[in-house]
Amino acid sequence: MTDATSFLEPGMFVRHPDAADWGLGQVQSVIGQRVTVNFEHAGKQVIEGRRVALVPDFG
């Protein structure tokens, strides 16, 4: 299995692939497979990288 969180680092912008209504999120921390992201419309969320492959947003 590919490590879905290996490319993530604090400050990056991402989107949740199954929750478009959460809006743009900024990575706050990455600890192992747990990624803390602050989303525009959902606030701070802890995402389990084994279950959700966050999509980078370079726009």
Which pLDDT score, from 0 to 100, does residue 1 have?
A: 37
Tell me the per-residue pLDDT of 1-59, one tens digit each, with 9 for 90 and over: 357 788 999 999 999 999 999 999 999 999 999 999 999 999 999 999 999 999 999 98
Give pLDDT, residue 37: 98
The reported pTM is 0.91
List Cα–Cα distances, 44 to 28, 37, 48, in angstroms. 9, 6, 13
Cα(6)–Cα(23) distance, integer angstroms? 22
Q: Is 32 exposed, middle or buried (0-12, 13-18, 19+ CB in 10 A)?
A: exposed
Beta-carbon contacts of residue 58 (< 8 Å; ≥ 6 apart): 13
